[in-house]
Chains A and B, each alone.
Chain A
Amino acid sequence: MYQYDGHDQAFVAARAAEFRDQVARRLAGQLSEDEFKPLRLKNGLYLQLHAYMLRVAIPYGVLSSGQMRTLAHLADNYDRGYGHFTTRQNIQYNWTELKDVPDMLDILAEAGMHAIQTSGNCIRNVTTDAFAGAAGDEEVDPRATCELLRQWSSLHPEFAFLPRKFKIAVIGAAEDRAAMKFHDIGLRAKPDVQRPRYDIWVGGGQGRTPRVAQLFEADVPFERLLPTLDAMMRVYNLHGRRDNKYKARIKILVAEMGLDAYRDEVYADMAERDPAAFAVAGKEYDRIAAFFDRGPVAPIDDVPVAGEGAFAEWLDQNVSAHKVPGHAVVTISLKAKGAIPGDATGEEMRLVADLADDYSAGEIRVTHRQNLVLPFVPQSALATLYGRLVEAGLATGNVGLTSDIISCPGLDYCALATARSIPIAQALSDRLREREAKARAAGVTVKGPTLNISGCINACGHHHAANIGILGLTKAEEESYQITLGGRADGGAAVGEILGPGFTAEEVPDAVEKIIEAWEANRLEGESFTDAYQRLGKAVFKAAVYEEAPRVAA
């Protein structure tokens, strides 16, 4: 993985010192809350419902075991012993105090980490495929591009006070495991002679107005990548709407201007500029890419691994093909039955760090589905690794199943929430895990629809992009849950459609179960949920859910 040099180290240390000064000036009254708020947000510090929340960047979801131990240390010493891994591949601490945050940042800086731009109206932490560098179908390792963009966008002078937040994702494989088309800018890296070339997508996003990104330009050579992004950001900064925060994302600008007009503005801006200013980026890309090219593991003989019972389920669901022979990619599910999606205790983080040292070249990934990944596991170590995960209660074999639920923190923590999402996720997890166990025991392939939950229309829980999405709302000061069907986050990205009237929290598990049953009853052999939904239409599901009185929960 990428290693900090003295420059990177000095950079994050300087940012931590800068923030310490900002906090001191806030406490002294030299910065008003209105002034301080954007400054703290740009450093990942929110004021949530019950406390300050610090969101720490895990750039493109890659962590070393040492960094994971630092995260555990922060959880144990500055929080209540746990943290929450987010859909942006970051981690957030729910119980921090403003006065402690400068110290936390110093500790992070020492570990080569930071909280830069994990919030605020700026370019956010760049995300990617959690299987980058390990996936069997990878064409270009996206991490070098991600790191280049991290460096370019960090503390960018011109693009720090944008109309709204700005999210970029990069992928380098045919399969999209990063919901790339739901980003303000999405990049698909492809192999080229020396450095990659890119398809640039623009205007995707979730929130109140979900949009799938459109192709801005295909096959952009590396030399033009940063000049193009620079101009794309500038046109957005100058023309994006600032009168209404719900219309301020680039997706609205592109929709209102039209893609062609937006593109013309971008090219006009580029025409004034000498791209030579960006020439140094090529050498920097090569320097960064060298860290990733030196893959940490060498090919060894393939070892067939088979098991029974829960181990077999885990092998089927949580273990994926690796590009290096003899190895496997292992996903550690943070979605045990009834668990809070994405939460991990300090103890669990330390255990994962130990496992990474023992079996995965010291490297860990965070996925946008809120799980952890050990990316470089020798096949011969799978059985031992599984045994240690079982001991820790981290061996749930449900990755990619419906019980692998994405959930945002919702109204249990979030100041913007309109309903709770975690208890819904927990109730669904209980119900779905039972279904999955039964199906498995009956020898049925259980791969079912994806299920994501958000506690408000901001859609941090990616409900629009789920096969079954759940959105929590406040109706007459009570929680009400809206269900959407047919969304997809993969290459065929699509936004889910609202099924019908909302449900109470208690009704949600039954409704979801009926939807899954309707799919199972009506699907063709091997047909995915979204394909079946496309073919059958909404009516079939509507009938299944609304046309009989809700069952009384046992």
Chain B
Amino acid sequence: MAKQRVPKGPSVLTANDLLTGTIVYWTGDDWSASMHDALRADDEASRAALEAAARTEEDANRVVGAYLFALDPETGAPVALRERQRLGGPSIILPISTPRAA
């Protein structure tokens, strides 16, 4: 994946778990599958700390493709369409649970 630029405003660190591929968010000392647990960086220095954590965690082969993404300062929701989709999971009903229409 193309390396994304460090966002300017409030942001959190995300990645995929190396072993399982699951989406994870950085809590400050570990990874969580829930964005609620994510450590939010509101200033330059804390964003730099998240960047550093991204590299360390990648080098430790725990996660892949770690990067920061921006949050809406008001709502705290991800700004980018892609991150909103990533957060919500597939927006469709997965086929296993839907009997087909004729």
Contacts and interface: CB of A to CB of B under 8 A. Distances in A.
Interface of A: 26-29, 33, 47-52, 80-82, 96-99, 310, 336-340, 343-345, 390, 392-396, 411-413, 415, 417-420, 422-423, 426, 474, 477-479
Contacts of A479: 81
A474 B80 CA distance: 9
Contacts of B19: 27, 97-99
- Choose among B19, B22, B92 the residue with the greatest number of A CB atoms under 10 Å from its CB: B92
B75 interface: no
Interface string B12-44: 000010111111000000000000000000000
B5 interface: no
Given A97-B21, A98-B20, A99-B20, A412 B96 contact: no
A90 B82 CA distance: 26
Interface residues of B, number: 29
5 contacts: A49-B23, A51-B21, A82-B94, A393-B101, A411-B85
A27 B61 contact: yes
A43 B16 CA distance: 19
B21 A339 contact: no
The 8 closest A-B pairs by CB, nearest first: A393-B100, A52-B21, A81-B96, A51-B21, A412-B90, A97-B20, A343-B95, A82-B95
Given A47-B16, A336-B100, A33 B58 contact: yes
A96 B22 CA distance: 10
Contacts of B65: 33, 47
Given A390-B102, A396-B102, A412-B91, A420 B20 contact: no
Contact of A478 (B21, B23, B81, B86): B81
Contacts of B49: none
Interface of B: 1, 16, 18-23, 58, 61, 64-65, 79-82, 85-86, 89-92, 94-96, 99-102
A225 B80 CA distance: 49
Contacts of B64: 33, 47
Given A26-B18, A336-B102, 6 more contacts: A27-B61, A52-B20, A96-B21, A343-B95, A411-B85, A423-B91
Contacts of B81: 411, 418-419, 474, 477-479
A531 B25 CA distance: 53
B85 A395 contact: no
Contacts of B79: 477
Contact of A49 (B86, B92, B99): B86
Contacts of B1: 47, 415
A395 B91 contact: no
B21 A47 contact: yes
Nearest to A477: B81
Contacts of A96: 21
Nearest to A99: B19
B85 A420 contact: yes
A351 B100 CA distance: 14
A345 B91 contact: no
Contacts of A49: 23, 82, 85-86
B21 A27 contact: no
Contact of B90 (A50, A99, A392): A50
A420 B96 CA distance: 20
Contact of B80 (A52, A420, A477): A477
Contacts of A396: 102
A390 B100 CA distance: 10
A340 B98 CA distance: 11
Nearest to A340: B95
Contacts of A345: 95-96
Contacts of B22: 50-51
Contacts of B23: 49-50
Nearest to B78: A477
Contacts of A51: 16, 20-22
A121 to B, nearest CB: 16
A344 B95 CA distance: 7
Given A29-B61, A340-B95, A423-B92, A394 B21 contact: no
Nearest to A96: B21
Contacts of B100: 336, 339, 392-394
Nearest to B97: A81
B11 to A, nearest CB: 15
